[in-house]
Structure 1
Amino acid sequence: MRIGIFLKQNLQRTMARLRRAFSMRRSLAAYRALSRKERIFFSGAIILIVIGIIGGIITLYLRMTYPAPAYGGTITEGVVGKPFAIHPFIPDSSPADGILEQLIFSSLLKPDSKGGLIADLVEEYEVLEGGKVYVISLKPDLKWHDGYPVTAEDILFTIQLIKNPEANHPLYNLFRDIDAKVLTPRSVTLTLPRAFSFLPQYLTFKIIPKHIWGTVPIQNFPFSEYSLKPIGSGPYVFKKIVSTKDGNPLEYLLGASPSYYLPGPYLQSFSIRFFSSIDEAMNALRKKEIDSVADVAANTTSHDAPGNFETITPVIPQSFGVFFNLEVAPLNDKVMRQAIRAALPVESFFATNPLDTTTRIDSPIWFIAPSPYPFNTEQSETLLASLGWKDTDNDGIKDKKLQKKDKIATPLELSLTVLDTPDMQTLGSRIQEEFKKVGIRIILKNVDINEFHSRLRSNSFQLLVVGELPTSGYYPDLYPFFHSTQKPPQGMNFSSYTDKQIDKTLVSLRGSMDPETRDLRYQEIAEAIRDDVPAIFLYRPVWTWLIQKSIKVPAVQFLNSGDERLSRVNEWYIFTKRIWK
């Protein structure tokens, strides 16, 4: 019985094979019977059918999936200057300090590179009592790079350091009247004396670990090993310092944090290589030794980017201008300031000035352009004459007897303080030349950075070229720069500008969350500053960043500082993968 079944099954298989063979022979014979043209047509049709099937499968796959960043890849960025201390409470001595701090440390909120904010350590925050109380909750399971948990105690510790005058933190004036308390291990409350709409923009300060810095005196921060080998909670972890034989750092090597709490970081290592000049960094870029370099002078032809690099030029709302010291004569007279302003041909000045990597401005508010103050030497001379300044001895410089008893007239002579950098010296010399044309003698004072800051804090100048940089995002908080209580050394009202109405407007702006009211307040401030002339606003620098096109980064449109471009570095990637929808 079994033998019969076996024979039957094998017979069936044999007959099936014979039928297939006969069919194939018939098909082959039929194909051979075709003409050459018919064979070509038939073969082409079969190929097209196969391609169509494959194409359909690929199309279906692409429709059912989407590209997403994949882990892998490295980046090396070139930076001019060397780090001194990678610590948020130690002033940056070079761009390298700030860049490394952005990579290693985290903040409550962080800039989104478009002028807004996104959550960093914060899971959510709630605004209560009309904007006077903020309840901030942290994400769960946050960790420092050494494995310790990030808690509300670290947030409180950092804020208490900001409020400590010894720390000399730039946010001291803002936070000194804010009461911070721990609610739970993951939440804190901030209680303000009055509503402050800009507070979220200031919650971008870096958090430092209490378990490392809690027992270290502030004055000893620079001497700690952790200031060179920092422990943070950001996307990248310190790995190694590459140095010369004599100890000078050449490169910082960082690795992706395995405990990072946001998506990414996708690039598995990030290196920062240090250079003595932008030319040296650009040479390394062309040799493909580095993948990125920032703060490139766009007007220098030798800095032209290779074709495989993307050029990114976001808005940085820094306003450079000639600031008047309103507490010294004759600059405490508004008519004198208006006369000086009319003598400076700003439009044509920047058309031929070496500082051509700039955007012309007439206001400290980067998105508002009030009525321009026109260049008019005749008006300048008329205004000076109305104040009694005339060229009585025909030496080309205006003079005046300041008191009736004076026998000799005093020449109209003012000092202009600028940083001793080539660009600032060139700018100062050009201003000197223009003012001389209307009879104002300018004594140019080129000073180093330490003396410059000393003169700012002590108000020891008559005219001074400086840049103001609000750090509050797209909409600037102008209170620190123009409120009468913010004069140096406590604040940054460098001109010592005083106007009761503007004081009220600045306070109102801080409390307003209504867009229409906010825009109206900005316009009022811009027009008042234009009329009172506490400064002659000149330009906003154009900041340029070059990065390999193979490295994909989120859109970078607006930055308060160059290192802010790294705020979303966890989202940078080189490789992609496809994910099913």
Structure 2
Amino acid sequence: CTVKIIPKHIWEQVLPQNFPLSSYNLKPIGSGPYKLKNLAQDEGGKIVSIDLNRNPYYYGSASYIPKISFHFFETQDELTLAFRKGMVDGLSLPSPLATASGNLYALSLPRYFSVFFNLNQSAGGTQILAEKEVRQALNYAIDKQALIDEALPGQAKIVESPILPEIYGLEKPSKIYQYDPALAEEMLEKAGFAKVAEASLYLPPNSDSPRSVDEEGKRVKVVKKTPAFQFKSDLTVGSQNNEVKELQKCLAKDSAVYPEGEVTGYFGSKTKTAVIKFQEKYKSDILVPAGLEKGTGDVKSMTRKKLNEVCFETGEEKFPLKFTLTTVEQPLLVEVANQLKSQWQKIGVELEIKTYDISILEKDVIKPRKFEALLFGEVLGAIPDPFSFWHSSQKKDPGLNLASYDDKESDKLLEEARQSPDEKTRKEKLEKFQNLLIEQAPCVFLYTSDYLYMVSKEIKGIKTQTIFDPSQRFSGIEEWYIKTKRIWH
């Protein structure tokens, strides 16, 4: 982050951890072209507007516009309507307003939008996305250019890396996930996710209508359940342990094999007789392969294998290739999410989309990491430093490691890149980091787009520039003006 200069006489008595809660945040003092005049809040304490006046003590030229007001709206629709009615003169946009009358400024901003897979299963992640092969397949299945053409025509560029090498003059990554749906399907097959050939049905209790379990074309991974207990040791007369107890419990299920049904934990003559009967009952599986005619009464490999089959239910557990993608309740990102859903569906992935207002998303979803996959954006600074977004120490809030990515080698490279005063060394560390992270595929990098700012045609003097933070769109605001005079030459 960038550390700003703050007034010592105001902040020196405030502990750093108390900065966010300090009332001084609502009484800012700075050296810019404007100063705070008024801050209006509603009954709940939410800021609804901020008024600024020209700062007479500004070190530079006096601002042309004497007063500026910032107004805050609950929804994007309310903000857009206010602009169209002329109630506000400028607003930031996720995408151009088709019917708005204003000048659109596209400011270059080093940011990218990605799908972040939550690798922390204990928080909100899913077992499916914990598999690297699945994450890689999901990368190969996305046609990024087609997505941009559909959702952001002419407004975005493809991104393949967390450090935006084109912007910062770094080498491009050694591996890129070129669109290859055939390879994606092959990888999913190897990971055990087979396509369902036809829909299978089941009849729910107290219902006459069968329901679909596995829909045709979707992928499901079938895993055999491992029983909580299985026989692992050789057992014979004189053995005494928990396995003997389990053996006796199993044999007692068949009264013809073990009529006494005693469970003592001691392998005596009655247990041996029961084992012989069991061996002879399953002669073809136990005795014949060993070349024996009669049971021995000892529990060894062949007997143990059959006991595990007979005594404990294994069953199967199905894992459909299905997960939830969460994003901001914003038309552009919702459209991107729908494009992702459509493309992943072609390889048998079932995607559910959930959207939230940005304030709810940040508080209830991102902060506790309660999501399986998140479509979101991240902004890099003037100096490329992905530490905050990918170092394992940043997995929990207020850290910004949204994928909960945790890799010791990546951590080391990020730390060394931060600590090195040599620019060449920093670049080498970051380039190694990007290649390592892309191989692990904790996310799908999608696109980068300019920061769009729509301003009333009445306002002049705005310059298009590269910014490293959305607030920098106001750099040079002292040169903005409204009134113009005709000068005769």
TM-score range for the pair, normalised by the shorter chain length: 0.5 to 0.7
| Partner in structure 1 of residue 356 of structure 2 | 447
1:377 matched residue in structure 2: 181
Asked if 1:283 corresponds to 2:192, the answer is no
Structure 1 segment 545-564 matched on structure 2, within 5 A:
545-547=453-455, 551-553=460-462, 555-564=463-472
Q: Quick one: which amino acid aligns to residue 322 of structure 1? A: V
Q: Which residue in 2 is equivalent to 1:349?
A: 147
Cα distance in 1 for partners of 2:95, 2:368 equals 35
Alignment of 1:292-331 (within 5 A): 292-296=89-93, 299-303=96-100, 305=102, 309=103, 311-328=104-121, 329-331=127-129
How far 1:403 moved relative to its partner? 2.6
Q: Is the 8 A contact 1:236 1:256 kept in 2?
A: yes
Q: Which residue is equivalent to 1:269? A: 66
User: 1:89-238 to 2 correspondence within 5 Å?
Assistant: 152-154=8-10, 156-157=12-13, 160-161=15-16, 164=17, 167=19, 169=20, 218=21, 221=23, 227=26, 232-238=30-36
Tell me the residue number matched to 1:391: 195
Distance 1:448 1:271, change over 3 A: closer
For 1:302 and 1:536, the matched residues in 2 are separated by 33
Give the 3 Å change call, closer, same or farther, for CA 243–497 of structure 1 in structure 2: closer
- Matched residue SS, 2:315: coil
Mapped pair 1:459 → 2:369: yes
The answer to whether residue 297 in structure 2 is matched with residue 500 in structure 1 is no
Contact kept, 8 Å, 1:412 with 1:439, in 2: the verdict is yes
Moved more, 321-330 or 361-370: 361-370
Alpha-carbon distance between aligned partners in 1 of 2:367 and 2:48, rounded to the nearest angstrom: 34
- d(CA) in 2 for partners of 1:251 and 1:258? 22
Q: Structure 1 residue 439: deviation in Å?
A: 1.1
Native 8 Å contact 2:94 2:452 kept in 1:
yes
1:526, distance to aligned residue in structure 2 (A): 2.1
Structure 2 residue 157 is matched with structure 1 residue 359: yes
The secondary structure found in structure 2 opposite 1:428 is: helix
Deviation at 1:528, TM superposition (A): 1.9
**Aligned partner of 1:540 among 425, 448, 453:** 448
Task: Give CA deviations for 1:58-105 in whole Å, capped at 9, x if unaligned.
Answer: xxxxxxxxxxxxxxxxxxxxxxxxxxxxxxxxxxxxxxxxxxxxxxxx
C-alpha deviation, 1:284, in angstroms: 4.9
State whether residues 65 and 481 of structure 2, in contact with CA within 8 Å, keep that contact through their aligned partners in structure 1: no
Give the Cα–Cα distance (whole angstroms) in 2 for the partners of residues 489 and 550 of structure 1. 40
Question: In the superposition, relative to structure 1, how do residues 505 and 558 fare at CA in structure 2: closer, same or farther (>3 Å)?
Answer: same
Counterpart of 2:259 in structure 1 is: none
Listed one character per residue, the Cα deviations across residues 267-319 of structure 1 (whole Å, up to 9, x for unaligned) are: 2512226485454354356xxx76x52324554331353xxx5x432212222
Is the 8 Å Cα contact of residues 151 and 332 (structure 2) preserved in structure 1?
no
Are the equivalent residues in 2 in contact too, given 1:242–1:250 (CA < 8 A)?
yes
Select which of 212, 217, 221 maps to 1:400. Answer: 221
Q: CA separation in 2, counterparts of 1:240 and 1:489?
A: 32
CA change 1:504–1:301 in 2 (3 A) is: same
1:190 equivalent in structure 2: none
CA distance in 2 between partners of 1:336 and 1:360 (Å): 22
Which amino acid is 1:563 matched to? S
Which amino acid letter does the alignment assign opposite residue 380 of structure 1?
Answer: A
> What is the letter of the counterpart of residue 107 of structure 2?
P
Partner of 1:139: none
Q: Which amino acid aligns with 1:293?
A: G
Give me the whole-angstrom Cα distance separating, in 2, the residues matched to 1:322 and 1:492.
Answer: 14
Deviation at 1:549, TM superposition (A): 8.1
TM-score (norm 2): 0.64
Deviation at 1:482, TM superposition (A): 0.7
Match of 1:256 in 2: 54
Please tell me the residue identity of whatever aligns with 1:326.
L
Distance in structure 1 (CA, Å) of the matches to 2:41 and 2:398: 39
Q: 1:265 corresponds to which letter in structure 2?
A: A
Return 5+ residue gaps in structure 2 as ranges: 122-126, 167-171, 199-215, 226-313, 485-489
1:299–1:567 Cα change, 3 Å: closer
Equivalent residue of 1:452, what SS? helix
Counterpart of 2:422 in structure 1 is: 514
Equivalent residues of 1:275, 1:281 under 8 A apart: no
Q: 1:330 to 1:353 in 2, by over 3 A?
A: same
- What are the Cα deviations for residues 10-32 of structure 1, in whole angstroms up to 9, with x where unaligned? xxxxxxxxxxxxxxxxxxxxxxx
Whether the 8 Å contact between 1:326 and 1:534 is mirrored in structure 2 is yes
Change (3 A) 1:297 1:334: closer
Aligned-partner Cα distance in 2 for 1:537–1:436:
19
Same amino acid, percent of matched pairs? 24
Distance 1:457 1:546, change over 3 A: closer
Query: Could you tell me how far apart the structure 1 residues matched to 2:39 and 2:316 are?
Result: 68
How much does 1:411 deviate? 1.8
Q: What is the alpha-carbon distance in structure 2 between the residues aligned to residue 464 and residue 560 of structure 1?
A: 23
